Amino acid sequence: MLSRKNVIGLHTLLWCIFIVLLLYTILPTIIVRLLCLWVYKKKVSKDGIALTFDDGPDPEFTPQLLDLLSKYQIKAAFFVLGSKAEKYPEIILRIHREGHLIGIHNYVHWTNALMTPKRVRKQLNDSVEAIEKIIGVKPIYYRPPWGIINVFDLFLVKQYRLVLWSLMVKDWRSRGGKNRIRSTLLSKLQMNHIIVLHDSGQTFGANRDAPHYMLKALEDFLEICKQRNFPFLPIDTYLQLLQFKKRQPSGLVKKCLVFIWLKWERMFNWLFNIRPIDVDNQIFYSRVCKYHGKTIDLGSGEALTSGDLVVELHFNNEKLHQLITESSSMFQLAVKMKHDVQNFLPTLAQRIHSMPQKVKAIYGITMIHRGSRQLGFTVTELPKGLFSRFTQIYLKTLLYVLHPNGRERLKLKSELLSPRIATISTEELYKKYAATVEPMPISEHAISLSQEVLYEANRT
């Protein structure tokens, strides 16, 4: 039996191995997938589907695949193994002559997670040399086996264009035959997909006859796509439409910050029971809570005092990030946000009307207050102190992370970026935005225009 000392030593060793793997390959691969680096799902201005094939060339199945692609006049991308390219140069030459793109899938089908950076570079160099000798063109597109990378592969963007996928149908398995592959392709069929299929069944974990079923399913799929007028694009054209750019370190850091921030906010909302008010327009989240602070004059003889029940609104920053991504300019973003906010406020008034709690006002905090006043809110200064300083740091950080020109905005508008309390009584909200609702007793509320910040930042 192992002694306690040996058991502790074994646990320590296992933890060390796990940490090394985490830093070397698990974390980089997760980051690439979660941030959609080199994984393309949507966002193109012109629609199209890109077909890609891994693990070949195969002397039995690749020629059949080329015949099928020729029949439907489709150009695809073949990510080939260097060792098989050397073994079947005539197939590689045919792929090239028929106008398909040839990329690298390592020299042998071995994961980068279990290779040193030097070994990965040798795999790539040997593959490039083998392919270049056959077709006279140096391949620049690269797909690592199983889509797994190590941390040093992040630097490969200087030499290669890494291409993963947005749709995989597990066609390396024979089980389920043609119908399983066909139904999976059709059930997930949409524009802007990079589809990965396999024209060889000779790699680890694959069934040797699996490409036979893939080809049958693919033929049905292509025929249906033809009937529906779905276009297919070669991968290089596809990436150009996506405005593919080599990822610079600053851009990568920005994407990581956005990802981490949004995940943290999800956890924060869950912990404090902050939920969307309108599932169809999730621009604001809310919670009902007691107000704690100085007395605020709400106008019309009303005042918000400590202990009053309020509705606290929080801007949905994930929605904001989506709007930023979908907008071609900051003007377009401002227009979209204004439209969403104006559509939301009548819904808010109606939801408040149906709430069982008796709330006093809508309450929240904003750094840029002019937009708040235009919407009917009373704006007062946030009392100076630790909470004020913390809020200012938080909102400035938010502006920096989510705004595409956050750093410049902070420099240009620094004198305006001081936190303010924005409030509106339930009665006033009701009068302004819910005129079509039946008269209601004086319900009460509070709003968090915490992200009116970014709407106003974009406007100004």
pLDDT in tens, 248-299: 444 566 677 777 877 888 888 888 888 887 666 677 888 888 888 888 888 7
Is 54 tagged catalytic?
A: yes
The per-residue pLDDT for 209 is 95
The crossing angle, in degrees rounded to 10, of helices 317-326 and 330-354 is: 150
User: Do 222 and 339 reside in the same domain of the chain?
Assistant: no
- Would you say residue 401 lies in a domain? yes
Half-sphere exposure of 47 (CA within 13 A, CB side): 6
Q: Residue 61 pLDDT > 90, yes or no?
A: yes
What confidence tier does 242 reach under pLDDT thresholds 50, 70, 90?
low
Q: Which of 245, 272, 307 represents a domain boundary (last residue)?
A: 245
- Would you say residue 30 lies in a domain? no
User: Do 289 and 362 reside in the same domain of the chain?
Assistant: yes
Query: Is residue 298 exposed (0-12), middle (13-18) or buried (19+ Cβ within 10 Å)?
Result: buried
- Would you say residue 11 lies in a domain? no
- Would you say residue 372 lies in a domain? yes
The per-residue pLDDT for 419 is 75
String of DSSP letters for 26-81: IHHHHHHHHTTTT---S--SS--BEEEEES---TTHHHHHHHHHHHTT---EEEE-
84 vs 104: CA distance, rounded Å: 11
Tokens, residue 71 = 């029949």
If one counts the domains in the chain, the total is: 2
- Would you say residue 347 lies in a domain? yes
What confidence tier does 38 reach under pLDDT thresholds 50, 70, 90?
low
pLDDT in tens, 171-186: 999 998 999 999 889 8
Can you tell me the mean pLDDT for 69-86?
Answer: 96
Is 198 tagged catalytic?
A: yes
Domain region containing 98: 36-245
CATH number of residue 116's parent domain:
3.20.20.370
More confident residue, 153 or 93: 93
Contact 172, 202 (CB under 8 A): no
The per-residue pLDDT for 245 is 39
Which listed residue (105, 193, 198, 445) is catalytic? 198
Percent helix, percent strand, percent coil in the chain, to nearest 5: 50, 15, 35
User: Do 139 and 180 reside in the same domain of the chain?
Assistant: yes
User: Do 105 and 237 reside in the same domain of the chain?
Assistant: yes
User: Do 184 and 95 reside in the same domain of the chain?
Assistant: yes
Q: Residue 435 pLDDT > 60, yes or no?
A: no
Q: Residue 441 pLDDT > 90, yes or no?
A: no
∠ CA 330-452-438, rounded to 5°? 120
147 vs 227: CA distance, rounded Å: 32
The per-residue pLDDT for 111 is 92
131 vs 139: CA distance, rounded Å: 7
Half-sphere exposure of 109 (CA within 13 A, CB side): 17
| Max avg pLDDT among 194-198, 258-262, 290-294, 346-350 | 194-198
